[in-house]
Amino acid sequence: MIRVGVIGATGYAGAELVRILYGHVEVDITVITSRQYAGAPFDQIYPAFAGVVDLVCEEFSADAVADRADVVFTALPHKLPMEIIPGLVERGLRVVDLSADFRFRDPALYEAAYQPHTARDLLKQSAYGLSEVYADAVRTAPVVGNPGCYPTSVLLPLIPLLKAGLIDPKTLVADAKSGVSGAGRSPSVGSLFCEVAESFKAYKVGVHRHNPEMNEVLSREYGKPVRITFVPHLAPMSRGMLSTLYAGLTRSATPEKIRACLTDYYRGRPFVRIHPEGRMPDTRFVRSTNYCDIGFTVNEADRRVILLSAIDNLVKGAAGQAVQNMNLMFDLDETTGLDAMPAPL
């Protein structure tokens, strides 16, 4: 059994990690930490787990974690991970980090969006954990920077078409809608039920930090600088993310080529479901699963393709993809622990 630690287990992403890892037959959760709830049984914070999960939150200590775990998931606000992960790697652990700290290849991009990077050496060795695209790098990396939820939902549909030259990199628009859990469990007025219900709005238009993350990956895949226009929105629901992607077609693109390109790229990848014509992705269809559902429509008159992707922002957009990456790192079947049945509602 692989021994696993979850650092920051009481936020929404951390709790999802516990949920998934507890049902994972190849791992044992040996340690969970929480600054705020150190000493508290996990099921006191999340009573859904009463009688199921008997873990107790601890204060973080690198030595204690290294003693008891082979791999660690860090679900912390950015900045903290780059402070503690180097010490964990030195002690021989492998790490999947759910923050932004190990997502960028170019530290300058990270620093423009966040703050000075204090673990540049380790950053160089890290892999970007978009599992379907960078599986090889993930398998061997000491640290995996788990992608943001928005980048996951935007990049999976676009990368194959961009690489195949079917869409024009100068025309990309991503209009993305997220459930409220993306804002985390810290209390804030903007996440209150009464502020969110019957509310739909865009936020951080033009300044969201997931935008440079997308741009770097798109540029890397395309081989030349690509910039996407990205607008995130908040929808009155708990979980789920739908991205609507607009792209101009290149001369050679046809609906058939687009379908073939997506189907070929994701052949054998169990978590990407290309919808048949006429079926449109819906966040409800992927709720609590690790799927990314992709559908599209071509507007031939205007030479544009409209792609839709749906994920659960906490699963494929966070904890699920993190476990998928761990599976890759430990040569397990990619779906281990991630094959719970979807629900009809």
From CA 189, how far away is CA 289, in angstroms rounded? 29
Applying CB under 8 A, among 91, 227, 259, 269 the residue interacting with a second copy is: 227
**Contacts with 157 (C-beta within 8 Å, 6 or more apart), sequence order:** 243, 245, 262, 294, 296, 307, 308, 309
Residue 25 lies near a second copy (rule: CB under 8 A)? no
> Whole-number minimum distance, CB 224 to a second copy, in Å?
15
**In the complex with a second copy, which residue's Cβ is closer, 44 or 118?**
44
Half-sphere exposure of residue 318, counting CA atoms within 13 Å on the CB side? 29
**In the complex with a second copy, which residue's Cβ is closer, 139 or 191?**
191
> Whole-number minimum distance, CB 49 to a second copy, in Å?
6
Residue listed under structure tokens 């079917």 = 166
> Whole-number minimum distance, CB 134 to a second copy, in Å?
23
Q: 57, 149, 261, 292: which is the annotated catalytic residue?
A: 149
Residue 306 lies near a second copy (rule: CB under 8 A)? yes
**In the complex with a second copy, which residue's Cβ is closer, 94 or 273?**
273
From CA 110, how far away is CA 209, in angstroms rounded? 9
For residues 257-276, which are near a second copy according to CB under 8 A? 270, 273, 275
Q: Which pair of tokens denotes residue 152?
A: 């996951």
**In the complex with a second copy, which residue's Cβ is closer, 96 or 286?**
286
Q: Which stretch binds a second copy (CB under 8 A): 9-17, 71-79, 86-94, 257-265?
A: 9-17
From CA 40, how far away is CA 96, in angstroms rounded? 24
The answer to whether the CB of 232 falls within 8 A of the CB of 203 is yes
Cα end-to-end distance, the chain, whole Å:
34
**In the complex with a second copy, which residue's Cβ is closer, 37 or 330?**
37
Binding mask 238-257 for a second copy (x = CB under 8 A): xxx-x-x-x-----------
Q: Which pair of tokens denotes residue 13?
A: 């992403």
For residues 26-55, which are near a second copy according to CB under 8 A? 46-52
State the chain's maximal CA–CA distance in angstroms: 62
For residues 156-215, which are near a second copy according to CB under 8 A? 173, 175, 177, 179-181, 185, 187-189, 191-203, 205-206
> Whole-number minimum distance, CB 121 to a second copy, in Å?
32
**In the complex with a second copy, which residue's Cβ is closer, 155 or 338?**
338
Distances in whole angstroms, Cα of residue 24 to Cα of each of 17, 145, 148, 177, 272: 10, 21, 23, 30, 20
Residue 301 lies near a second copy (rule: CB under 8 A)? yes
Residue 112 lies near a second copy (rule: CB under 8 A)? no
> Whole-number minimum distance, CB 296 to a second copy, in Å?
9
Helix axes 149-163, 131-140, angle to 10 degrees: 100
Q: Which pair of tokens denotes residue 60?
A: 């973080």
261 is catalytic: no
From CA 228, how far away is CA 230, in angstroms rounded? 6
Residue 95 lies near a second copy (rule: CB under 8 A)? no
The answer to whether the CB of 159 falls within 8 A of the CB of 242 is no
> Whole-number minimum distance, CB 131 to a second copy, in Å?
17
Q: Which residues are catalytic?
A: 149
